[in-house]
């Protein structure tokens, strides 16, 4: 029906999938204005290309692949230099690649992780890591589905996910240390005032 241009069918398809696509875009770009823009763009591309869908994958997988591509293209345009997808998933040390700093194994992420801090940390992930983390841990896709969406191998998906989680752990620790430092500073200032 949607392929025949029926508006009600388009709207129904949109309503069925918009929440997941919007959630994916929001997690990837971190702000609502851009997420709205990207959601619209993803569905626009979907409806332009719907006649070419041949059913070789699940429809939702196909849609999410379009959405991920739209987001990654936008993120690529935003970065200062043109990067390949490989560069976006294998960042160097300076741009925040995961370092195996074993010393940090001694610091524990105590209690549950604050949602706001986690989202902030996710925002700092390189696009490729972010995509795999959002698709797997946030949206619940399996690795074989992510491999189809991201056009990579299952092994690649798993490896990116592990690296994403390790990088998030480092970022969350940095945030904890920053907060502890501010608390100490505030306590010191308060003592001084007395």
Partner 1 sequence: MSTAQFLPLRFNWKTGLLAPGLLLVTSTAVFAHNIEKHFKVEPRSVVTIHNPSGKVVVKAWTKSEVMVIATHTSDKVEVDAEQTGNRVDVMTHQISNSISPEDLRADYQINVPEDAELQIHDDSGEVSVANVLGDMNVETVGAGVDLEDAAGYLTVRTVGGSFQCIRCAGRLEVSSISGSFKLLSLRSYHVHAQTSKGNILLDGEFLPNGIYRLKNYSGVIEVHFSPGDSFDLSATSLKGKVNSQASLIPPAHAHPVSKFGNAILGTFNAGHAKVELSSFDGTINILKRE
Partner 2 sequence: MTTVACRDFLDRFDSSDSPRNGSPADLSVQAHLRHCPSCRSFVEDLGKIRAAGAQLAASDPEPPARIWFALRAELEKEGLIRDTPSEVPSKSWLAELFSGKFSVLPRPVLAGGYLAALLAIAFGLSGPINSRINRQRWLDGTQSSTEPLSAQLMSAEKASFSSWPASETPVTASLHQNLEIVDNYISLCENSVREDPENELAREYLYEAYQQKADLLAQLNDR
- Smallest separation, CB 77 to partner 2 (Å): 20
DSSP class of 125: S
Residue 147 CB, shortest distance to partner 1, in Å, is 9
Exactly one of 95, 153, 183, 186 binds partner 1 (CB under 8 A); which one?
Answer: 153
Closest CA to 151 of 74, 71, 69, 46: 69
Q: Where does this chain touch partner 2 (CB under 8 A) — which range of 16-24, 71-79, 91-99, 180-188?
A: 16-24
Q: Where are the alpha helices (DSSP H) in the chain?
A: 7-29, 32-49, 59-78, 85-89, 115-123, 127-133, 143-150, 154-193
* CA 77/CA 182 separation, integer angstroms: 36
Quick note: the x/- pattern for partner 1 over 102-141, rule CB under 8 A, is ----------------------------------------
180 binds partner 2, rule: CB under 8 A: no
- Binding footprint of partner 1 on the chain (CB under 8 A): 143-144, 153-155, 159
């Amino acid at each position: 029906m949607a392929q025949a241009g029926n508006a009600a069918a388009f709207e129904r398809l949109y309503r069925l999938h918009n929440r997941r696509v919007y959630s994916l875009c929001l997690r990837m770009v971190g702000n609502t204005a851009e997420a709205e823009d990207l959601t619209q763009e993803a569905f626009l591309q979907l409806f332009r290309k719907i006649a070419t869908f041949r059913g070789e994958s699940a429809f939702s997988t196909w849609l999410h692949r379009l959405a991920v591509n739209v987001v990654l293209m936008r993120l690529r345009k935003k970065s200062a230099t043109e990067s390949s997808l490989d560069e976006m998933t294998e960042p160097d040390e300076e741009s925040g690649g995961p370092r195996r700093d074993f010393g940090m194994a001694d610091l524990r992420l105590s209690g549950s992780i604050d949602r706001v801090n986690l989202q902030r940390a996710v925002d700092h992930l390189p696009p490729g890591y972010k995509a795999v983390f959002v698709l797997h841990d946030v949206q619940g896709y399996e690795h074989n589905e992510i491999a189809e969406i991201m056009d990579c191998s299952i092994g690649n998906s798993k490896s990116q996910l592990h690296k994403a989680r390790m990088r998030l752990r480092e970022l969350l620790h940095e945030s904890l240390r920053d907060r502890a430092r501010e608390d100490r500073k505030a306590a010191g200032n308060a003592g001084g005032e007395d």
